[in-house]
Amino acid sequence: MKITLRVWRQESPKDPGRFETYESNNVNPHMSFLEMLDVVNEDLIAQKKRPISFDHDCREGICGMCGMVINGVPHGPDRGTTTCQLHMRRFSDGDTITIEPWRAKAFPVVQDLVVDRSAFDRIVQAGGFISVRTGSAPDANAIPVPKDIADEAMEAAECIGCGACVAACKNASASLFVSAKIWHLSSLPQGQAEKDRRVSSMVAQMDEEGFGSCTNTYECEAACPKEISVRFIARMNKEYRRAKLLGRS
């Protein structure tokens, strides 16, 4: 396959950035998208040019590192798929592919396709804990958890914190990420003690980081590689109002 890439290149956070065009003539359709970028980088290095910077780690769709916008869609054209799980057979010979970083004030560009997503870490640090005894693991049946609650908590816990929801939202809202983190901690019995303080602190930190407000366009759910449901946002809003009305924040 022959592929033309339009890639966002930005030397540093203060650099204005620009698109540069590269051609790759030996793309195997069985390559993953990141393997294709590796091949392009090898060619750039051979030409003594700076390779394209991009985040990656596990390449198994579980770490959330490989965030980039491909032809205007976070993670690319396949639903429920991270960039590292996207394969070049999804594209056609002769295609032009445009690759950009996440676009959000709270995700400043570090270099090229790499953005600083530490805002997510600070949100989790603001309230992401539960009060349990340390030491050996408790017996699995010590605290009964209804199956429907356990299933929903596991669904929320699937969030890998990639930031696709922010990149897809016209307001750069992080509500889907924050609501998933809140719900998987607060829905289980072990997370009840701090749930009011947790939702207030995490929402406040989200606002402080500069993320926008949710206006229910559902683009976040469509872009999420784990297909996290927007119903968690509704539950977060409900819990937030409850905590504020009861003065327990």
33 and 94 fall within a common domain = yes
151 and 104 fall within a common domain = no
26 and 56 fall within a common domain = yes
213 and 126 fall within a common domain = yes
Dump pLDDT digits (tens) for 157-210.
999 999 999 999 999 999 999 999 999 888 888 888 889 999 999 999 999 999
Q: How far is CA 202 from the centre of its chain?
A: 17
Task: Please give the tally of structural domains in the chain.
Answer: 2
Dump pLDDT digits (tens) for 12-60.
999 999 999 999 998 999 999 999 999 999 999 999 999 999 999 999 9
91 and 123 fall within a common domain = no
98 and 121 fall within a common domain = no
Which is higher by pLDDT, 237 or 135?
237
Q: How far is CA 228 from the centre of its chain?
A: 11
pLDDT at 27: 94
28 and 64 fall within a common domain = yes
**Cα–Cα distance, 212 to 199 (Å, whole number):** 17
Dump pLDDT digits (tens) for 87-131.
999 999 999 999 999 999 999 999 999 999 999 999 999 987 777
Residue pair 224/163 in contact by the 8 Å Cβ criterion: no
Listed residues 59, 85, 110: the one ending a domain: 110
160 and 86 fall within a common domain = no
Query: To which H or E segment does residue 154 belong?
Result: helix 147-157
Domain around 78: 3-110
Listed residues 76, 110, 144: the one ending a domain: 110
| pTM, two decimal places | 0.92
